[in-house]
């Protein structure tokens, strides 16, 4: 019996995939710094991608991109509202039928979803908690947005209520226990004839309201949010949303964001504990060496940068750069790679893994995806693969057209404490092309508003995006970046992910 069980540990056994997704975890403000288990068990045992970006810096559209491998303009979820298609009927009838889970299930994988799905999931008008998206064998999903207490889970379509008892209800631990139990049950169910699994574990931390495990309360009471060079600085040459911020920020607002910074880090300590539990469980079921573990977040975050108190949704590095760590069979250990990789690459990578491992010859949905599989980056080689040098960042603001006269109380203000500063509005709608290569490092953005505003940053000399150079950059570069933005803004499939396309290949930039 033991001999048979060990036979499933051979390298030719189909690999498992464990995908851990956090909510609002940044990299630029130290969001990964205090996670020792992630560092020891994932980063040192795998590859860290230092230039990982979300293509839309907001929960629902980013998660849809993660699930489908498509840009927002293709899956058509544009923000967190139902009117923005978040978990809408339109989503359910179209893109939701083409996620990486569908590929994995068709390829013979057992598929498990645990945690936060899309922000509007569970609303009665879009199917309620009975809705179980295609591709998932076992479904344990949070109704609505991130919470740590007083929430409802859809347990395969049946409601499971949780209150405010830490032992029974703290969401990170509840989801973690479910994940551990599912891994053990899966191993027992497939003791003789091993079947691979795909598990997506989508945790609430470090999203607000930042409720922490009591044992971690005030662990970071002496910390303050990083006073970066763009902290409490007014973005005078930026889009109106930045120009309307209160500057200098009030002491109450700074105290609030300092507390948010501490609490965010404390919620992540529970995630860090869970990572250790999961790795220990994989060892116990003898699948640690046969499992790809992917760790990432849906978007970044800001805390006082350009005097915006706290949120995401903006085009700057602190909101669009996120963690990505991958460990698993054949992945280089304790390595950091600098290629620009995207949230839309995760689905392409998972589908690539499961289809190459499939016994059933299933045709992958890769051609429906805008992302590129990361498998060619798993190993350090003397001949690095050809890779993208640019990508699209896009967002469509929430609210109505007459909500754009911020700051004000009411629609368009995402936070109101004690200063009402508009963090999002109807015409916070932009698209950008970000270029990263040895020759080019630019950010070019166009806003859809009355100003038709443009922001351009030379990221080689201005990593914090302090100075908008739209009026001083070589006009030829502006033309080329605009042309590339138009191409990416309407791209689909291979047109989005062709690594041989070089928008600046025949042009040497000149900064005036």
Q: Which residues pair with 336 in a beta bridge?
A: 48
- What distance in Å separates the CA atoms of residue 478 and residue 465, rounded to the nearest whole number? 17
- For 161, counting Cβ atoms within 10 Å of its Cβ (0-12 exposed, 13-18 middle, 19+ buried), the class is exposed
- What distance in Å separates the CA atoms of residue 125 and residue 329, rounded to the nearest whole number? 43
Sheet holding 454-458, edge to edge: 390-395, 430-436, 441-447, 454-458
Q: Respond yes or no: is residue 416 known to be catalytic.
A: no
Q: Which one from 59, 422, 445, 491 is the annotated catalytic residue?
A: 59
Contact residues for 261 (Cβ-Cβ < 8 A; gap 6+): 29, 223, 224, 225, 226, 303
Q: Which residues pair with 417 in a beta bridge?
A: 419
Q: Are strands 291-297 and 16-22 parallel, antiparallel or unpaired?
A: parallel
Q: Are strands 341-342 and 52-53 parallel, antiparallel or unpaired?
A: parallel
Query: What is the number of residues in the chain?
Result: 512
In 3-state terms the chain splits into helix, strand, coil percentages (rounded to 5) of: 30, 20, 50
- What distance in Å separates the CA atoms of residue 79 and residue 60, rounded to the nearest whole number? 6
- What distance in Å separates the CA atoms of residue 130 and residue 154, rounded to the nearest whole number? 7
DSSP element (H, E) containing 420: strand 419-421
- What distance in Å separates the CA atoms of residue 9 and residue 437, rounded to the nearest whole number? 40
**Nearest CA among 251, 252, 253, 263 for reference residue 221:** 263
DSSP element (H, E) containing 450: none
Contact residues for 230 (Cβ-Cβ < 8 A; gap 6+): 305, 306, 464, 465, 466
Q: How many CB atoms lie within 10 A of CB 195?
A: 14
Determine the distance from the C-alpha atom of residue 55 to the mean position of all C-alpha atoms in its chain, rounded to a whole number.
9
- What distance in Å separates the CA atoms of residue 343 and residue 54, rounded to the nearest whole number? 5
Active site residues: 59
């Amino acid at each position: 019996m033991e001999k048979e069980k060990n036979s499933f540990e051979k390298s030719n056994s189909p690999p498992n995939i464990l995908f851990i997704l956090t909510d609002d975890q940044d990299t630029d403000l130290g969001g990964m710094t205090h996670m020792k288990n992630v560092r020891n068990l994932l980063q040192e045992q795998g590859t860290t991608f230092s230039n990982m970006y979300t293509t839309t810096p907001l929960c629902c559209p980013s998660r849809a991109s993660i699930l489908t491998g498509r840009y927002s303009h293709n899956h058509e979820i544009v923000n967190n509202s139902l009117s923005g298609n978040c978990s809408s009927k339109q989503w359910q009838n179209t893109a939701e039928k083409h996620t990486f889970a569908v590929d994995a299930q068709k390829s013979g994988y057992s598929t498990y979803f645990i945690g936060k799905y899309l922000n509007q999931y569970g609303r009665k008008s879009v199917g309620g908690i009975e809705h179980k998206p295609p591709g998932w064998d076992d479904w344990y999903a949070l109704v609505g947005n991130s919470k740590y207490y007083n929430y409802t889970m859809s347990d395969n379509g049946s409601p499971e209520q949780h209150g405010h008892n830490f032992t029974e209800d703290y969401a990170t631990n509840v989801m973690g226990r479910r994940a551990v139990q599912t891994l053990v049950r899966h191993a027992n169910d497939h003791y003789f004839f091993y079947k691979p699994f795909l598990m997506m574990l989508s945790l609430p931390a470090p999203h607000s309201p930042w409720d922490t495990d009591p044992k971690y309360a005030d662990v970071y009471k002496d910390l303050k949010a990083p006073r970066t060079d763009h902290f409490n600085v007014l973005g005078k040459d930026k889009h109106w949303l930045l120009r309307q911020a209160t500057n200098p920020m009030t002491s109450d607002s700074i105290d609030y964001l300092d507390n948010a910074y501490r609490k965010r880090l404390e919620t992540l300590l529970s995630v860090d504990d869970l990572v250790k539990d999961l790795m220990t469980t994989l060892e116990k079921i003898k699948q640690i060496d046969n499992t790809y573990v992917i760790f990432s977040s849906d978007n970044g975050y800001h805390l006082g940068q350009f005097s915006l108190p706290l949120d995401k949704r903006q085009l700057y590095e602190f909101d669009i750069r996120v963690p990505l760590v991958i460990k698993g069979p054949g992945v280089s250990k304790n390595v950091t790679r600098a290629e620009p990789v995207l949230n839309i690459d995760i689905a392409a990578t998972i589908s690539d893994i499961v289809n190459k491992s499939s016994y059933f010859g299933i045709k992958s949905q890769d051609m429906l995806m805008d992302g590129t599989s990361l498998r060619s980056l798993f190993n350090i080689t003397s001949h690095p693969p050809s890779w993208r040098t640019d990508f699209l960042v896009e967002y469509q603001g929430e609210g109505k057209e007459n909500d754009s006269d911020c700051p004000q109380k009411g629609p368009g203000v995402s936070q109101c404490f004690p200063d009402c500063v508009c963090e999002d509005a109807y015409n916070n709608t932009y698209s950008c092309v970000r270029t990263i290569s040895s020759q080019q490092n630019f950010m070019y953005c166009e806003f859809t508003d009355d100003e038709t505003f443009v922001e351009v940053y030379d990221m080689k000399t201005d990593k914090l995006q302090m100075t908008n150079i739209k009026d001083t950059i070589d006009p030829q570069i502006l033309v080329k970046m605009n042309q590339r933005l138009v191409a990416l803004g309407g791209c689909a499939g291979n047109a989005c992910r062709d690594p041989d396309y070089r928008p600046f290949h025949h042009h040497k930039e000149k900064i005036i």
